[in-house]
Amino acid sequence: MKKEELKIYLDQKAIEYNTVDFIASDPIQLPHRFEKKEDIEIVSFLISTIAWGNRKSIIKSGERLIEIMGNDPHNFILNYDSSEDLEFKHRTFNATDLDFFFRSLKNIYSNEGLEQAFIEHKEIQGVKGRIITFRERFLETPHKKRSEKHISNPLKNSAAKRLNMFLRWMVRKDNQGVDFGIWNTISPSELYLPLDVHTGTYARKLKLLSRKQDDWKALEELMANLKKFDKEDPVKYDFALFGLGAFEDF
């Protein structure tokens, strides 16, 4: 397809899949059960952290997380005592990791809050710098080395799929009812989509991506091309690429 035709095609697909009908089959349904800003943030962050595997298993594990937090995430985090016995496992994310995440979230919410933890980096611009700043802040809480793998590091060329997914949920603003758009300190134009093997595959089929690895360098290439179609909200095309793979077997 020519550039103009591809833009029209992707715009149509983004509209088609950016709909509340999408919520019922996606893990984003879990934070949509809450209304309080901090509850939405906490559930979204934890769900995006365990977002690998099939969607049904992610939702099942997410239900367990909400159960552990007594359906009152913010209050639970503020009063969390790590002496509590935790029973949780999703793939390689286990109770040890969850205890650390709860303690780190408590530290953050007892001070600035989760949104403020993603402040601009002093040297690295854009969402990459924000993720690096957040990672440094999150890892200030004592933890076992094994837990660090669950907070991706763009400095090591990770595409940071889960953190970019979380940021999309928090930052994107439209009237479709999928993304929350409850953060105002980050512009949607900064966002990068959550690149994985599926979105990478379809991006390559559409000639939007040439790099073979699904890493941060590939993400920068992909976002540079998507910003040619919409520089203010390039991540809306995540709906198009995801939908083509999940629902159309493109």
Quote the crossing angle between the two packed helices 55-68 and 37-49, to the nearest 10°.
Answer: 130
As a whole-number percent, the residues of the chain with pLDDT over 90 amount to 89
Write the DSSP string, 147-186.
GGGGS--GGGT---HHHHHHHHHHH---SSSSS-----SS
The bridge status of strand 93-94 relative to strand 89-90 is antiparallel
As a whole-number percent, the residues of the chain with pLDDT over 70 amount to 99
- What pLDDT was estimated at residue 165? 97
* Tokens representing residue 210 in the block: 């040439």
The yes-or-no verdict on residue 246 having pLDDT over 90 is no
- What pLDDT was estimated at residue 237? 97
pLDDT tens-place string over residues 99-150:
999 999 999 999 999 999 999 999 999 999 999 999 999 999 999 999 999 9
Closest CA to 188 of 205, 215, 167, 203: 167
Q: Is residue 1 packed enough to be buried (19+ CB in 10 Å), middle (13-18) or exposed (0-12)?
A: exposed
- What pLDDT was estimated at residue 247? 74
Bin 160: left if φ > 0, else alpha if -120 < ψ < 50, else beta: left
**Cα–chain center distance at 5:** 29
- What pLDDT was estimated at residue 34? 98
Q: Which residues pair with 89 in a beta bridge?
A: 94
Specify the pTM: 0.95
pLDDT band, residue 73 (cuts 50/70/90): very high
What is the rounded average pLDDT of the residues 79-83? Answer: 89
- What pLDDT was estimated at residue 248? 74
What is the rounded average pLDDT of the residues 33-49? Answer: 98
The yes-or-no verdict on residue 181 having pLDDT over 80 is yes
The yes-or-no verdict on residue 3 having pLDDT over 70 is yes
What is the rounded average pLDDT of the residues 45-56? Answer: 94
- What pLDDT was estimated at residue 249? 65
The yes-or-no verdict on residue 170 having pLDDT over 90 is yes
Instruction: Return mean pLDDT, the chain.
Output: 95
What are the φ and ψ backbone dihedral angles of 160, each rounded to 5 degrees? 50, 50
Q: How far apart are CA 165 and CA 199, in angstroms?
A: 12
Q: Break the chain into its structural domains and give their ranges.
A: 3-246
* Tokens representing residue 50 in the block: 């365990």
Residue 247, classed as helix, strand or coil, is: coil
Inter-CA distances, 146 with 57, 92, 97, 150, 187, Å:
22, 10, 8, 8, 32
**Selected residue with higher pLDDT from 30 and 1:** 30
What is the rounded average pLDDT of the residues 72-78? Answer: 98
